[in-house]
Amino acid sequence: MGNRVRAVVAGATGYSGRELIRLIAGHSGMELAGVFASRGGSSTPIVEIHPQLRGFQPGGADLSDLDSTICHPFDEEALARLKPAVIFLATPNEFSHEIMPSMLATGATVVDLSGSFRLRDASLYPAFYGFEHQATPLLEEAVYGMTELVRAQLPGAKLIANPGCYPTSIILPVRPLLEAGLVDESQPVISDSKSGVTGAGKTPTATTHFVEVSESFRAYNLLRHRHAPEIAQGLGLPGGTDRLVFSPHLLPINRGILSTIYLKLKAGTTRQSILDVWQERYAAAPLIRIFAGSQLPEIKFVAGLPFCDMGVVVDERSGQAIIVAAIDNLLKGAASQALQNANLALGFAEAEGLR
pLDDT in tens, 300-335: 999 999 999 999 999 999 999 999 999 999 999 999
Report the pLDDT value the prediction gives residue 1, as an integer from 0 to 100.
42
Nearest to 79 by CA among 97, 61, 59, 100: 100
Q: So what's the pLDDT on residue 210?
A: 86
pTM, whole model, 2 decimals?
0.95
Residue range(s) in the chain whose domain bears CATH number 3.40.50.720: 5-162+334-346
Output the CA torsion sign for 148, 119, 188, 220: positive
From first to last of its 355 residues, the chain has per-residue pLDDT tens of 458 999 999 999 999 999 999 999 999 999 999 999 987 778 999 999 999 998 876 554 344 478 889 999 999 999 999 999 999 999 999 999 999 999 999 999 999 999 999 999 999 999 999 999 999 999 999 999 999 999 999 999 999 999 999 999 999 999 999 999 999 999 999 999 999 999 888 887 888 888 888 899 999 999 999 999 999 999 999 888 999 999 999 999 999 999 999 999 999 999 999 999 999 999 999 999 999 999 999 999 999 999 999 999 999 999 999 999 999 999 999 999 999 999 999 999 999 999 7
Helix (H) or strand (E) run with residue 270 in it: none
Ranges for all domains in the chain classified under CATH 3.30.360.10: 166-327
Grouping H, G, I as helix, E, B as strand and the rest as coil, residue 237 is: coil
- Count CB neighbours of 147 within 10 A: 26
Residue 58 pLDDT: 57
Q: Return the exposure string of 257-272: e unless at least 16 CB atoms fall within 10 Å of the residue's CB, then b.
A: bbbbbebbbeeebebe
Which residues lie below 8 Å from residue 81, measured CB to CB, with a gap of 6+?
none
Please say whether the structural domain 5-162+334-346 has been given the CATH code 3.40.50.720. yes
Report yes or no: 19 and 330 within 8 Å, Cβ to Cβ: yes
CA dist list (Å): 273 to 15, 180, 254, 263, 280? 38, 10, 35, 14, 11
Contact by Cβ (8 Å): 73, 40: yes
Positions marked catalytic: 165
Angle at 106 between CA 131 and CA 40, to 5 degrees: 50
Q: Which fold has domain 166-327?
A: Dihydrodipicolinate Reductase; domain 2 (3.30.360)
Cα separation of 119 and 240, whole Å?
12
Q: What's the confidence (pLDDT) of residue 67?
A: 82
pLDDT at 194: 98
